[in-house]
Structure 1
């Protein structure tokens, strides 16, 4: 992936990546907040860009903080646990879809 000043680039894997500026606008927050989230490890950039899932995570954190008064660490934990539950449900669905003789 090459550095670009544009708001969107495509990674070598074919994923769209977005600038911090674009992410801040999309999540209705500031670039400074995004930098704090990166420094704390709450979101993971790809170089100097963000994947759409990270932008969604920023927006979800903002909603948890503003609407429910959850602090930043609490919001990150809530989202991590929600992701883990979703992964476990998907694994359970795969397990249940297998014939009983293969379990």
Structure 2
């Protein structure tokens, strides 16, 4: 029997966390041009768009990861991935609302 000593390090990302442009690029293992294209497509919105040093929220990190999976797993182009991401987020909002409605009906 072999024992695998490889470990995966990770962090829990909250919406209020902030990442610099470089940190986001590094964490997601993507080049800066790709991050810029996500901003231009409206997929990501820097917290300080007028500043030369963009900062991104934890939500932006999750959006980048979803876009990466959509492109890798489904071969979706950037515009299609943006649309799919928007629909996924709307479904999540509706699920949350439904859960609140159901819990208020029980009590």
TM-score, normalised with respect to structure 2: 0.74
Q: How big is each residue's C-alpha offset from its partner over 1:7-59, in whole Å with a ceiling of 9 and x where there is no partner?
A: xxxxxxxx331111110111111111101111121111101100011011112
Structure 1 consecutive aligned stretches of length 4 or more whose deviation exceeds 3 Å: none
Which one scores higher on RCO, CA 8 angstroms, separation ≥ 6?
A: 2
Q: 1:28–1:59: 8 Å Cα contact kept in structure 2?
A: no
Which ranges of structure 1 fall in alignment gaps of 5 or more residues? 1-14
Map 1:39-78; keep pairs closer than 5 Å. Answer: 39-47=40-48, 48-78=54-84
Unaligned 5+ runs, structure 2: 1-15, 49-53
The structure carrying a bigger strand percent of its residues is 1
Corresponding residue for 1:98? 104
TM-score normalised by structure 1 residue count:
0.76
Q: Is 2:85 the counterpart of 1:85? A: no
Cα RMSD, aligned residues only: 1.6
1:32 maps to which residue?
Answer: 33
Number of equivalent positions: 87
- Cross-structure match for 2:23: 22
- Mapped partners of 1:38, 1:99: distance in 2: 41
8 Å Cα contact 1:24-1:31 kept in structure 2:
yes
